[in-house]
Chains A and B, each alone.
Chain A
Amino acid sequence: MLEKMIFGRYVPGNSFVHKLDPRSKLLFVFLFIIAVFLANNTITYALLLAFTVLVILIARIRFYFLFNGLKPILFLVVFTLLMHFIFTKEGALLFEWKFIKIYEEGIRQGIYISIRFLVLVLMTTVLTLTTSPISITDGMETLLNPFKKLKLPVHELALMMSISLRFIPTLMDETDKILKAQLARGSDLTSGTIKQRIHAVVPLLVPLFVSAFKRAEDLAIAMEVRGYRGGEGRTRYRQLAWKNRDTFVIFLFAFLVAVLFWLRGGN
């Protein structure tokens, strides 16, 4: 189940979207999330959806792959849709069967909210699918740089994030190994009462914590002997390069917002 999830995963590629600077992508997705709330009628929602589909096409991500990987989230979208169908009681009554009454406004709002939810999930997934976690970290660190003046430990946060990202696969492997070892000793995680099940997690968690602490200790020593003394006076190996295409993306966003304003219904 979990291994099929692609939300938050990175798949290397060579598309226009892959090649963008992480800063432009992060900025774009961040602003896009805000811009989504500008949509308020059928044409603007349709525009958002069409735009998202266009981005997926440009990023050369197969729809089947997205659909498969986001199934659990798509289920949530459908659920939201149904909830709106059933519980919103405004506008003309369209359909009635026993106690179920479906109103025009219910369908409209259901579809709008679902589209909103869907484009947000799709856009962030496109971001993570096309940008390596480390690039995202780099992009964040640079974008947040101005906040250093406000004593925000930007470098430390970015380092923490990149180290945790680097150790996620290692710790997942470790969890798998410990789980197998305890299962082989007759540990049972899949049956029993809730209390028993919580109890059964202890043999998994304790070794995992012990090993994580050991790793952290080793890593701290390795970093120290390799001369790590905090962010002061450090240079950077990863250089971000803002290209014309990144500027283009920002213009594209401005254009999208302009069109959204133009098409959105007046209140």
Chain B
Amino acid sequence: MKEILSLDHVSYTYETEDEKPHKAIDDVSFTVQDGEWIAIVGHNGSGKSTLAKLMMGLMYPNEGKIRVFLEELNDETVWEIRSRMGIVFQNPDNQFVGSTVQDDVAFSLENNGVPFEKMVPRVLDSLAQVQMEEFLDHEPHHLSGGQKQRVAIAGALAMEPQMLILDEATSMLDPQGRDEVIRVVDDLKRAKGLTVLSITHDLEEVLLADRVIVMNEGKVMMTGKPEEIFAHGDVLESIGLDLPFASRLSRELRKHGVNIQGEHMTEKELVNELWTSHFNK
């Protein structure tokens, strides 16, 4: 296992003029290993977007250290580190820099001085990986939100990144767009072993993760596998988070006297459980 990212006792405080300083991140530590899919969840205001900014080197922690690709993130290393991580933001429109799909995918390559001959195959290849190769000359306002986000992923892939950060990348999409994006990321992770860090409150995304980090009031509240996290349903609900449909239904069924063993994350698991415990006696 190779370490990709580590946060070591990181804190960050916003200084505001009129109000008292607000500690957005409070002593956060965790490590992400190569090839892992990590989901960071928390309600709005839990500190997860501040965390995202810190990991991208858009600001630096007041206390503690962030290490990316085994290098400390600071002014000297930030550009090199960014060239090895891909980031997809929330608003599909506001990160589309190029005037057409292919221009946008090429943007990072141009910035990093990749020669023209290498750019063309990389742009085409990245677009093929997100199934957008037929949209080369499309302009952004003729694309759906999901398509724009896939182009953003292609733009990240073009730099052959070691880690992909999804900063609420699906929260502004319709259900179809959300599915498209999640499917593409899931395929990439399987095919290339890409490390994925998704900051989200979408449950589908959370269920795909290997490990979940729950943030609340700037602190890490829990970490664990999705099924471990969702076993604490009441705690999650108390901090404003949702549970998967199957967990909620299991809980309701238990209330109505149905005996259900273990935690079930998906409908399929729950149906199977009901089948085995009630019919195969």
Interface residues of A (CB under 8 A from B): 132-134, 162-163, 165-166, 169-170, 173, 214-215, 218-219, 221-229, 233-239
Contact = CB atoms under 8 A, between A and B. Distances in A.
Contacts of B116: 235-237, 239
B110 interface: yes
10 contacts: A226-B82, A226-B107, A226-B111, A228-B97, A228-B107, A235-B110, A235-B113, A237-B103, A238-B103, A239-B116
Most buried by A among B94, B98, B141, B155: B94
A237 B108 contact: no
B274 interface: no
Most buried by A among B99, B112, B139: B99
Given A222-B94, A236-B116, A237-B119, A227 B83 contact: yes
A227 B79 contact: yes
Given A222-B89, A225-B82, A225-B87, A234 B110 contact: yes
A49 B109 CA distance: 46
B21 interface: no
B112 A237 contact: no
B220 interface: no
A222 B102 CA distance: 17
A224 to B, nearest CB: 7
B99 A165 contact: yes
Sorting the interface of chain B by its residue count into under 10, 10 to 19, 20 to 34 or 35 or more gives 35 or more
B230 interface: no
A222 B99 contact: no
B56 interface: yes
A224 B58 contact: yes
B184 interface: no
Contact of B99 (A134, A219, A223, A224): A134
Contact of B141 (A170, A222, A228, A236): A170
A265 B94 CA distance: 57
Contacts of B97: 163, 166, 219, 222-223, 226, 228
Contacts of A234: 110-111, 113
B257 to A, nearest CB: 50
Nearest to A134: B99
Most buried by A among B97, B113, B114: B97
A237 B89 contact: no
A133 B103 CA distance: 13
A224 B108 CA distance: 10
Given A166-B99, A221-B58, A235 B114 contact: yes
A222 to B, nearest CB: 4
B242 interface: no
B115 interface: yes
A178 B102 CA distance: 31
